[in-house]
Chain A
Amino acid sequence: MKVLVAVKRVVDYNVKVRAKGDGSDVDLNNVKMAINPFCEIAVEEAVRLKEAGVATEVIAVSVGEKPCQEQIRTALALGADRGIHVEAEGRIEPLVIAKLLKGVVEKEQPQLVILGKQSIDGDNNQTGQMLGALTNMPQGTFASEIKVEGEKLNVVREVDGGLQTISLSLPAIVTTDLRLNEPRYASLPNIMKAKKKQLDVYSPADLGVEVTSHITLVRVEPPAERQAGIKVEDVAQLVDKLKNEAKVIS
């Protein structure tokens, strides 16, 4: 079974992001970039499927500018077999990424596509679902457990207030939630091996997709600063404030 995994280049989750002075975007100057954590979980799951003898090949794909190849190399170091970079400039919205991934799916014909449920930069949570719609493949989103059984894929989904188990016909799409697995660290020997693995580069035109934009980023603002706390005189004052100011008790 061939597994395709999408990886996105985002600001490292440890970095405290800042808006540019003019509010036009997030400031990415000298900021450490990394694989989106949910995509890292997707890579880990695909590699585990391969180690379990379920998957035969794991392909990591990323869409974006040339530096995305760093994240593909990281996925290769984590255990993916080969990489595909769809080179596209500028801000690319989820629908376009989904269309480009559909082009890759048509070329590679994977039985399973695993994506992160969302990226920590855009927080859109759209690409996996859009890819499902475009390819007409069944989708199991917010997966916390997956199991391949013959031609079926059982997915345990994290839904509001509990878990839901669904069974999908393969080929299928899965988007990963936080608890699906705990990704490994790339070992030094695997980092060295990753350099020798195949990495193909496509343009959107190669996949028959025109990169268009329907969304304009208007403004980026940091969250409001938290106000300093106060010291209350007694319990009665605390209860009064919780009731009348914070309105958290009645």
Chain B
Amino acid sequence: MDFTFSEDQLLFQDSVRDFLVNEITPERLRAGWETDTGRDPALWQQFAELGLTGITVPEEHGGLGMDAVDFVLLAQECGYVALAEPLVNHALVAVPLLQDIGGELAARWLPLAATGEARIIAAVEQNLMVEDAHVADLLLLEREGQWFALEQGQFSCERSESIDPARRLYSVTVQAGTAPIVEGARANALRAACLNRGALGCAAQALGLAQRMIDLSVQYTAERKQFGKAIGSFQAVKHHMANVAVRLEYAKAPVHRAAYAVAEDASGAALAVAQAKLMACEAANLAAKNSIQVHGAMGYTWEVDLHIFMKKAWALANTWGDAGWHKQQVAAVIFADGAALGAGATFQ
């Protein structure tokens, strides 16, 4: 089988990268921190015009009918620019969840998701705080094994601070008397699938963030001079970034493999996603740590853009399951009775 990305998928990535790099500048991100919602409706409209809001919406509802494999490279690009808008949640998590829920709810909201008229956000109890609840036109919320479909007015939310100034986190309270839409075993299955997709989205963004921190560090170390030479020419500096580059390359295949497992709804998807999130977030974490080192004291300052990407990487590492939780997922598979171990089973 050929697991390389198709020409179309790579073209999409190129096109979306051009758009995001030109439009989502660090200056624009910083300006977003100062606004009430921290989100930009005009930018969401541009996503819709490019087809991004409908990328995973089925064609019969006006979307492109694509899957996690098609979106994973785009999620990487969203990470590369530290995108604050909830596009990854909307396209990779909430829209597929809405499809899985089906029925009248899906028939009503999927066309609106495709055109960008509705931002759909999915959240599970494990995350404690709901990111972007304040701008969700439809919030699909899991609490105590029950799923709720909530429009604005059907829930209240109280903002909490995040380490990442671009994140808008809310503690959400469902209006009393609101009936759940899914309960029981099916609700648990939806939560598991949702967690996989959410963690995959974090992993893919972590790859982009790690790459951005490498690029920023390479640029800085090529310009910053000491002893008459660019500091990037010194081995001790070079090796810091080379280690990150190696870690990043090793993290890419697990993330892409996890995207395939999620798209195929494979039985080993949870394991593949757990491994992917662990490796990608470790790469991003190392990128943050080493980038601070090579930037010297400047790396800590507000005016240098590095912290924008670093803080997002730290935040993503602890959402949709932190490292401990994902290690437990891997451990549960390894230590299960009769578990098949080795290549193709534990390590894929």
Q: How many B residues touch the partner, as a band? A: 10 to 19
In Å, the complex CA distance between A185 and B23 comes to: 11
Within 8 A of A (CB), among B46-73: 46, 49-52, 55, 64
Would you call A185 and B8 a contact (CB within 8 A)? no
B260 → chain A, closest Cβ, in Å? Answer: 20
In the complex, chain A residues whose CB is within 8 Å of the CB of B12: 188, 191
* Top-6 shortest CB links A-B: A188-B51, A185-B19, A187-B50, A187-B51, A189-B51, A186-B15
In Å, the complex CA distance between A221 and B50 comes to: 40
In Å, the complex CA distance between A93 and B50 comes to: 36
Would you call A195 and B49 a contact (CB within 8 A)? no
Q: Mark B1-15, 1 if CB is under 8 A from A, else 0.
A: 000000010011001
Would you call B15 and A191 a contact (CB within 8 A)? yes
Indicate if A17 sits at the interface (CB-CB under 8 A): no
Indicate if A159 sits at the interface (CB-CB under 8 A): no
Residues of A within 8 A of B (CB): 14, 73, 77, 185-189, 191-192, 195
In Å, the complex CA distance between A88 and B73 comes to: 34
In Å, the complex CA distance between A77 and B46 comes to: 16
Indicate if B40 sits at the interface (CB-CB under 8 A): no
In Å, the complex CA distance between A73 and B11 comes to: 10
In the complex, chain A residues whose CB is within 8 Å of the CB of B55: 188
B267 → chain A, closest Cβ, in Å? Answer: 30
Indicate if B18 sits at the interface (CB-CB under 8 A): yes
In the complex, chain A residues whose CB is within 8 Å of the CB of B11: 73, 191
In Å, the complex CA distance between A199 and B50 comes to: 24
Would you call B50 and A195 a contact (CB within 8 A)? no
* Most chain B CB inside 10 Å of its own CB: which residue of A73, A187, A188: A188
Contact of B18 among A73, A185, A188, A195 (CB under 8 A): A185
Contact of A191 among B8, B21, B46, B49 (CB under 8 A): B8
In the complex, chain A residues whose CB is within 8 Å of the CB of B21: 14
**Chain A residue with the shortest CB-CB distance to B12:** A188
B318 → chain A, closest Cβ, in Å? Answer: 31
Given contacts A191-B8, A192-B8, A195-B8, contact A185 B15 (CB under 8 A): yes
**Chain A residue with the shortest CB-CB distance to B70:** A188
A41 → chain B, closest Cβ, in Å? Answer: 15
- Sample 8 A-B pairs with CB under 8 A, ordered by A number: A185-B46, A186-B15, A186-B50, A187-B51, A189-B51, A189-B64, A191-B8, A192-B64
